[in-house]
A and B are shown apart, each in its own frame.
Chain A
Amino acid sequence: MRIRSPLVPAVTIAVGFVVLLGYFFPSLLVQNLRALLIDWGVSLAGVAALVGILNLVVVHWHKANDKENRSLYSLLLLAAFLITFGVGLWLSPADPGFQHVIIAIQVPVETSLMAVLAITLAYASLRLLQRRKGTMGTVFVVSALFFLLFLSGFLPVVRQIPLVGGVADFLHRLPVAGARGILLGIAAGSLMTGLRIFLGADRPYNG
């Protein structure tokens, strides 16, 4: 296996160190350096978005020109892209007519996908007990149904009954506590992922 160059990780670690240092120390020099590096990052991300769009066009161009398995959807995408890009340049993206046409196409398409998603999730919930046989599957289905009903606001009277109201308040907080537990685990994992990149063990880049 070929050894990877140490230069790129060295730059990554140095930049990471300055940004991290700026988080803990309010020194003006460190803060300015941190702000400069973050600004560069934001500018590069903007350029990367353009490169990404170019990549999308190139991939679909190749698919549309594939003689064995030509994709009509790719042709449609390229045509829609060229029309949108051309009209956007001609009228400017801020033009109300241009925005109206884009929204009139995008919103119904995304709403339709949302409707398909609702049906997909409802069907998946019905099949859940079949898919996940065991305690956790049952607990998931029962708690999902229970909290769907409980948090829907159909049972406001329950919270006004003495003693039962306290239990209801506890149950109301229970999903939040569970979510926080999961989020704390994710925070620990995110921190360790950042540290691995900072220590040069993970290198999500070439070089």
Chain B
Amino acid sequence: MISLDLIISLVLILTGALATLYFSLPKHARAGGLRAIRALQNLRRAIGLSVEEGKRLHVSLGNSSILGPNNASALVGLSALEQAARISLVGDRPPVATSGDGTLAILSQDTLQAAYRTNHATAQYDPDRGRLAGVTPFSYTAGVIPILSGEQISANLLVGYYGPEIALICEAAERQGAFVLAGSESLPAQAALYATAQEPLIGEELFAIPAYLQASPVHQASLKAQDVLRWVLILLLIAGAALKLVESVFGAPLL
């Protein structure tokens, strides 16, 4: 017998997939733009300025394992890295990506290579630009800080799983006068980022980065589907609370 948890999971997956397909259809894709997120609008400007000034963009992918449950933000970071590499093609300095996990380091190199290959700029690819900075949270932090000061970084996109130690990277970037946009799925990191990052992303805002940077129909559709999914979750919560209330009134479980 399939449990209630599995049924809810299946409903959410199907809702997400169907909503993405629905919003990808040409007539629905044109309707309604993306909701304004100031931090992401500032990111586009910062990447543009970085290219104009001949400086470098740093993309941090955090220190979660790709096989763990906290890898979604790192996958968003990889998607953002690909687009950032494309935008920086005309610049003097290619972006640098750091991670705290071997798999993520390889994927960051792969993503950079794919971005250059699809844009006929394979000669610009340098495997040293996708690197492992350290394998524990603090060694990763210690590995990233010298990069901020020594490699002419003017904009930082910190998207991945971190602990509160991310505050040290934000402070180091601020000392260099660099732009920092940061988001994480970890709650302690979000609290630290709200206090230290120039542009923090709270909650699900970080999952909007690919849609803002790539603005492809599927990414925009995915963001709209995410909003639909949020409403489905809210309705499920209300329904759960109502069932609990009815259960407490009648004294017997309904499900």
Contact residues of A with B, CB < 8 Å?
A: 1-4, 20, 23-24, 41-42, 44-45, 48-53, 55-56, 58-59, 62, 69, 71, 73, 109-110, 113-114, 116-117, 120-121, 124-125, 128, 132, 140, 179, 181-197, 199, 201-207
The contact sample of 30 A-B pairs, CB cut-off 8 A, is A24-B6, A44-B103, A52-B101, A52-B105, A52-B106, A56-B133, A110-B138, A120-B171, A120-B196, A121-B164, A121-B196, A124-B171, A181-B203, A184-B237, A185-B203, A185-B230, A186-B203, A186-B204, A187-B233, A188-B12, A190-B207, A191-B16, A193-B75, A195-B16, A195-B17, A196-B20, A199-B20, A201-B216, A204-B75, A204-B78
Residue from A58, A117, A201 in contact with B167 in the complex, judged by beta carbons closer than 8 Å: A117
Judge whether A113 and B142 touch: CB under 8 Å: yes
> For the complex, what is the distance from the CA of A116 to the CA of B165, rounded to whole Å?
10
For A42, what are the chain B residues with a Cβ–Cβ distance below 8 Å? 67
For A207, what are the chain B residues with a Cβ–Cβ distance below 8 Å? 114
Residue from B20, B128, B142, B165 in contact with A195 in the complex, judged by beta carbons closer than 8 Å: B20
Instruction: Encode B1-39 as 1/0 by CB contact (under 8 A) with A.
Output: 010001001101100110010000000000000000000
Q: Quick check: is B187 within 8 A (CB to CB) of the other chain?
A: yes
Please report which residues of chain B, range 124-155, place their CB below 8 angstroms from some CB of chain A when the two chains form the complex: 127-128, 130-136, 138, 141-143, 146, 150
Total interface residues in chain B, CB < 8 Å: 77
Judge whether B128 and A4 touch: CB under 8 Å: no
Given contacts A191-B16, A192-B225, contact A124 B195 (CB under 8 A): yes
Q: Quick check: is B218 within 8 A (CB to CB) of the other chain?
A: yes
Residue from A73, A140, A179, A194 in contact with B72 in the complex, judged by beta carbons closer than 8 Å: A194
A7 to chain B, nearest CB (A): 14
> For the complex, what is the distance from the CA of A113 to the CA of B134, rounded to whole Å?
14
Judge whether B75 and A202 touch: CB under 8 Å: yes
Q: Quick check: is B168 within 8 A (CB to CB) of the other chain?
A: yes
Judge whether B103 and A121 touch: CB under 8 Å: no
For B223, what are the chain A residues with a Cβ–Cβ distance below 8 Å? 192
> For the complex, what is the distance from the CA of A60 to the CA of B222, rounded to whole Å?
39
Judge whether B17 and A179 touch: CB under 8 Å: no
For A205, what are the chain B residues with a Cβ–Cβ distance below 8 Å? 107, 110-111, 114
A1 to chain B, nearest CB (A): 5
Residue from B113, B135, B229, B233 in contact with A192 in the complex, judged by beta carbons closer than 8 Å: B229
> For the complex, what is the distance from the CA of A161 to the CA of B128, rounded to whole Å?
63
Given contacts A204-B79, A205-B111, contact A182 B203 (CB under 8 A): yes
Judge whether A50 and B102 touch: CB under 8 Å: yes
Contact residues of B with A, CB < 8 Å?
A: 2, 6, 9-10, 12-13, 16-17, 20, 65-67, 72, 75-76, 78-79, 82, 101-103, 105-107, 109-111, 113-114, 117-120, 127-128, 130-136, 138, 141-143, 146, 150, 164-165, 167-168, 171, 185, 187, 190, 192, 194-196, 202-204, 206-207, 210, 216, 218-219, 222-223, 225-226, 229-230, 233, 237
Tell me the dominant secondary structure on chain A's binding face.
Answer: helix
Judge whether B233 and A182 touch: CB under 8 Å: no
Judge whether A193 and B102 touch: CB under 8 Å: no
For A206, what are the chain B residues with a Cβ–Cβ distance below 8 Å? 110-111, 113-114, 117
Residue from A48, A56, A188, A195 in contact with B204 in the complex, judged by beta carbons closer than 8 Å: A188
> For the complex, what is the distance from the CA of A196 to the CA of B160, rounded to whole Å?
17
Closest to A73 in B: B146
For A41, what are the chain B residues with a Cβ–Cβ distance below 8 Å? 67
Judge whether B226 and A189 touch: CB under 8 Å: yes
Given contacts A182-B187, A185-B230, A205-B110, contact A55 B105 (CB under 8 A): yes
For B225, what are the chain A residues with a Cβ–Cβ distance below 8 Å? 192
Q: Lowest 5 A-B CB distances belong to which pairs?
A: A52-B102, A189-B207, A190-B72, A185-B204, A204-B78
A25 to chain B, nearest CB (A): 9
Judge whether A49 and B210 touch: CB under 8 Å: no
B35 to chain A, nearest CB (A): 14
Closest to B68 in A: A45
For B187, what are the chain A residues with a Cβ–Cβ distance below 8 Å? 179, 182-183
For A193, what are the chain B residues with a Cβ–Cβ distance below 8 Å? 72, 75-76, 207
